[in-house]
Amino acid sequence: MKKLYILGGTGTIGHQTIEVIKNHSNHFKVIGLSLGRSKKAQHGEIIQTLKPEIVCLREKDFKLESKFPQIKFVYQDEGLVELVKYPKVGIVVNGISGSAGLIPTIEAIKSGKDIALANKETLVMAGEIVGQLVEKHAVKLYPIDSEHNAILSALRGETLKEVKSITITASGGSLRDLSREELKNVTVEEALNHPNWKMGKKITIDSATMINKGLEVIEAHHLFNLAYENIHTVIHPESIVHGFVTFVDNSVKAVLAKPNMKMPILYALSYPKHLASGIENLDLTNLALTFEPIDYQRYPLLKYSYQAGKKGGLYPVVLNAANEAAVKLFLNKKITFLQIEEIVIEELENFKTNVSKPTLNQIITLDKNIQRKVLKKYEFST
């Protein structure tokens, strides 16, 4: 029985994690759970089903506290830290969206817990620090992101020395059939309509601009300790192949599955075992797979992501923070779709104070400052 802590229980990843666990209640027991502001009406039911020992909420809830007197309730960001420090070993599933996911990951590692990571900002912002902490505290870090999860699976039983490169696939996002010209008038609703994956809003917009793939390249660099030159990306509209590993003998291993996050979530939790995921079977007699190179003119943020990753230090923090704020502005209809790119590129080009080995404090301060600056420029307050 593995003990689990789920962060972001009402988000897309959290919700699917709970579904996965319900089907494998003999393998997993939820000890800790954090629930966000959304779907409040369901909080009681989720808690009733999972019966965790500690629950973190955004706002004080006397009704839930009196309904579940045996559960310890904690609140807000401090509560989240308390939750991941709860004195029982286990795996923390981090399904929090955005830079808010960084500190809980770090505190969970420090308290000796393994991490199943869906929050890509953790590694984009502080990949080196997180990597060092993982080593120091001898914990495991399992990626939930489908591409990295596929690479994890393909690398099982292999040694990194024999790996020449990896390739992660991109669907092309919700706007892949539109030209640059047509992107000018894209609405929030159109951008949120992803053809293959059901995901949260932030990551769906990130897929449309392709910065999602850029963030994943940086994530892969830290997870698999590969140089950026050896991390490739390719458009694969069907989203059936999630990742490829090319070995030094030029043989290639790929992992295929129907696009459904339940599979990578379960594999991150059951690794190295494969358990029945309940996702649809892949009919091999009816497969048409296509791949095309990603055009940097069409998707400039992928190019800038590689550059930011290669420059290292605080550049990935700038990339991520500018994008997070810009996506917030776009979702609130303060800017157009193409302005997301403009904002990210402008912040990267204006950034002149890089340090090669930033501290966690420098990272968090810069993230806050850039987000605040971008939001303020468009007179948006959260």
Residues that bind Mg ion (CB under 5 A): 145-147
CB nearer Mg ion, residue 10 or residue 146: 146
For residue 104, give both structure tokens: 């809980």
- Report how far apart, in Å, the C-alpha atoms of 223 and of each of 9, 56, 147, 153, 270 are: 24, 28, 12, 13, 18
State the nearest-atom distance from the C-beta of 250 to Mg ion, in Å.
26
Is the separation of the CB atoms in 323 and 300 below 8 Å? no
Instruction: Give the C-alpha separation, 323 to 319, whole Å.
Output: 6
**Contact residues for 7 (Cβ-Cβ < 8 A; gap 6+):** 14, 34, 80, 83, 84, 92, 93, 94, 95, 96, 101, 104
State the nearest-atom distance from the C-beta of 86 to Mg ion, in Å.
29
Strands annotated E in the chain: 2-7, 28-34, 54-57, 72-75, 91-94, 114-117, 141-143, 163-170, 231-235, 241-247, 252-256
State the nearest-atom distance from the C-beta of 373 to Mg ion, in Å.
28
Q: φ and ψ at 57, to 5 degrees? A: -120, 165
State the nearest-atom distance from the C-beta of 345 to Mg ion, in Å.
22
State the nearest-atom distance from the C-beta of 201 to Mg ion, in Å.
15
State the nearest-atom distance from the C-beta of 216 to Mg ion, in Å.
6
Residue with CB nearest Mg ion? 145
CB nearer Mg ion, residue 34 or residue 233: 233
Q: Is the peptide bond before 272 cis (omega within 30 degrees of 0)?
A: yes
**Contact residues for 140 (Cβ-Cβ < 8 A; gap 6+):** 114, 115, 134
CB nearer Mg ion, residue 151 or residue 325: 151
State the nearest-atom distance from the C-beta of 347 to Mg ion, in Å.
23
CB nearer Mg ion, residue 147 or residue 347: 147
